[in-house]
A and B are shown apart, each in its own frame.
Chain A
């Protein structure tokens, strides 16, 4: 009798301690946000979606696989797999090659004609410039998505290894 009572009391006390200890712990974060947090935020659209957030939404709804992010590489694919509870798999070849090193865009200034097409293409506002003035890439803000390369009419944008920080 007393044993049973004590057990109940102790368990209740432990539960109380646990509640107090975990109070203030972060609340449940929405799945989409947790997926989004794992993505590299390159916004490169290689996953076939309009950016990292849309891809995250697609994964959350089960409309996309976890291996569609070449910039994230194996690590992102693995992290996504463990978050979603599915088997990890390598990044799909059809989505592009996993880069060996982080890269940023660079505008060859002597060739730039100031057309602003790359500025409009940049998903993260990392290119500055004005119409008919030379443009330049803010290397620290460039995610290396390469979306600025196709629109350039004079092909003056090249990818370079990201500067050491």
Chain B
């Protein structure tokens, strides 16, 4: 199979995956209390179905989706609901958010989910979609977008192409690689369910060229399933090849319109982890209550991948990994390029937690002092969105909204490539991240002003017209009584 390399820009960054892929995936230790934030997916927070002191069983739904974009939540253990209260959450950078706290009774009594196990070939695509929603399935690549909402946007209309994203380009994360190595069958099963739900003709699994074991495992699983619709596409291990828009360009050779979605060009992209989660739900009746989390970095004694129940505190995973080393200095959720750094480790694993990096100074390499931009252009060579970060940086000081929007600031994907290569050590990604909402708001204000102007104008015209009609009527009324009017 040939590799179309439409992706320009991006970086070959030294990978740090090896240290976390030595051991196979192990089950994280069970603990006494699990904290399940209600807003851990994109969209609206889920609405609780339980109240404090309720008994819940493992896999029991504990919150239902709010109308619109939202997702189901299930209990990862059996036990008692202790409270529904604000608790610090990693996706809120440690700020408190409404969460269900469950005390684990250690018995793992299963909720009767027999109805969940279905043969997907026997239900309609729309039913399959609804069924996937009930499993609490969200995108496991990091954004946690509810999968059913994504599928609904392009359901069966014209048989979109399915793209499974196994390109894990962030240099530290290895949870998808381990998943592909150890649970390739789940991925293939999930792929077939997704093909059915989308009426898609075929499925492409994108996988990077530096993970041969995962490629082999997936190929074997596809052979075993004997499904000719599923194929593997090897893509170069370039950061950020696994970004949805970048991957679509690399695999299909077409770009997603800047103001549109992959569905607009007939592509639905899902993470391989999402496919595996769908398999567990449809085949085994196990909703999304656990995921593989990579714990790595020079700040923990032993890096590895852990099958972790949602709600497990980071500190417990760190303890599983042998605790912090003396060199530990920064705690990051997600990758080293786009992850967020967190103030403490008393935070629960959420569905979006793919990786926890306990970074030491060795991992981080301190930034030098910031120097002025010399317009060297290394950043524009690296930019996968083909932007000119050097020009954007120039037009940020002072904020020139017209030029920023001409240069496409809002198309920045915040991947951090420009930042990585900048010889002047300018925190470009951070600057752009801050500036984007300002620009968006300003452009929005322009649109609102234009709309208000138009309404003001049409109202004035309407009032003038009504006034004229009114006068005409008055004149009409007067005429039969007296002499004909002069007009």
Interface residues, chain A, CB within 8 Å of chain B?
Answer: 36, 39-43, 51-53, 123-126, 140-141, 143, 165
Give B409 Cβ to nearest chain A Cβ, in Å. Answer: 18
Q: Is B453 located at the chain interface by the 8 A CB criterion? A: yes
Q: Is B456 located at the chain interface by the 8 A CB criterion? A: yes
CB-based contact B444/A41 at 8 Å? no
Q: How many contacts between A and B, using CB within 8 angstroms?
A: 38
Interface residues on B, range: 10 to 19
Main SS of the interface on chain B? helix
Residue of A nearest to B449 (CB): A41
Contact with A along B449-465 (1 / 0, CB 8 A): 11111011111100000
Give B78 Cβ to nearest chain A Cβ, in Å. Answer: 40
Interface residues, chain B, CB within 8 Å of chain A?
Answer: 441, 444-445, 448-453, 455-460
C-alpha gap A87/B455 in the complex (Å): 33
CB-based contact B459/A123 at 8 Å? yes
Q: Which of A41, A124, A141, A143 has most B Cβ within 10 Å?
A: A41
Main SS of the interface on chain A? loop
CB-based contact A141/B456 at 8 Å? no
The 7 closest A-B pairs by CB, nearest first: A41-B449, A41-B452, A124-B455, A41-B453, A124-B452, A43-B456, A143-B452
C-alpha gap A39/B450 in the complex (Å): 10
CB-based contact B444/A124 at 8 Å? no
In the complex, which residues of chain A have a beta carbon less than 8 angstroms from the beta carbon of B459? 123-125
**Contact of A141 with B453 at beta-carbon distance under 8 Å, contacts A123-B459, A125-B459, A165-B444 already known:** no
Task: Identify 11 new A-B residue pairs, CB closer than 8 A, beyond the known A53-B457, A125-B455, A125-B458.
Answer: A41-B448, A51-B456, A52-B453, A53-B453, A53-B456, A123-B459, A124-B452, A124-B456, A126-B455, A165-B441, A165-B444
In the complex, which residues of chain A have a beta carbon less than 8 angstroms from the beta carbon of B451? 141
CB-based contact A42/B444 at 8 Å? no
Give A83 Cβ to nearest chain B Cβ, in Å. Answer: 13
CB-based contact B456/A123 at 8 Å? yes
In the complex, which residues of chain B have a beta carbon less than 8 angstroms from the beta carbon of A143? 448, 452
CB-based contact A43/B444 at 8 Å? no
